[in-house]
Structure 1
Amino acid sequence: MTRVCFELRIKPELLDEYVARHSPVWPEMLAEIAAAGRRNYSLFVAEGGRLIGYYETDDDTAAQAYLTASPIAARWEAEMSRFFVGLEARPDEAATPLTEIFHLADQLAAASTTSAEGDAL
């Protein structure tokens, strides 16, 4: 499984409308996200329009290809593109990926393995 986190900037003057457009998202777009293999998908917004997104997937390249080919996702992304600062492509293709530097479960598992190896000596 891959964890993906990304950042975009929403135009501050359109932030309220952007939030409203996600309450709720079109049912057919929700179905496409799920069909693409993305799960545990969340968006977070901060003052000034900073948007952070997170999802999990088994194959992000395949998920992105599925959504790129989807007419429903193309329509959604076309409608969403006006909300973002400085994008030259679809928002789902132009988001800045963030590098994961810490994950609790991974480190707990590694610490448990190290501890178990130490106990075996």
Structure 2
Amino acid sequence: MMKRLAFKMKLNENQKENYIKRHDEIWPELKNLLKEEGISEYAIFLDEETNTLFAFQKVSGQGSSQDLSSNPIVQKWWNYMADIMQTNPDNSPITTRLEEVFYLE
């Protein structure tokens, strides 16, 4: 069964171009890991007024990208991204899960 997940994160000021560039060059091993974990769609949108990132995923597995914290590839990505976004002490992005309140199929 496919489920939809959404969460928000916070980008540091004036980091839009860096964020886009790093995602345009996403590592193949990270991309493969996400697909292997059942993430078939993953989109991130930016609200430039607030620097809020809105992420949406379709997941066929039990978790989401946010549940891969023990994977070395994910930890390396977090370290790589830590200088341009708000993070926890382990460099994971500070995320807030969002509740789905409407879906039109």
Q: Which has the higher strand share?
A: 2
User: 8 Å contact 2:9–2:54 — kept in the other structure?
Assistant: yes
User: 8 Å contact 1:4–1:54 — kept in the other structure?
Assistant: yes
| 1:57 maps to 2:59 | yes
Which residue identity lines up with residue 50 of structure 1 in the other structure? T
Unaligned runs of 5+ in 1: 106-121
Normalising by structure 2, what TM-score? 0.83
Normalising by structure 1, what TM-score? 0.73
The runs of 4+ residues in structure 1 deviating greater than 6 Å are none
Q: Which has the higher helix share?
A: 1
Other-structure match for 1:68: 69
Residues paired across the two proteins, number: 101
User: 8 Å contact 1:36–1:64 — kept in the other structure?
Assistant: no
Q: Which has the higher contact order (CA 8 A, sep 6+)?
A: 2
Change (3 A) 1:17 1:6: same
Residue 72 of structure 1 and its aligned partner are, at CA, apart by 1.0
Task: Please state whether the residue corresponding to 1:82 is helix, strand or coil.
Answer: coil
| 1:20 maps to 2:24 | no
Task: Please state whether the residue corresponding to 2:34 is helix, strand or coil.
Answer: helix
Q: CA RMSD in A?
A: 1.9
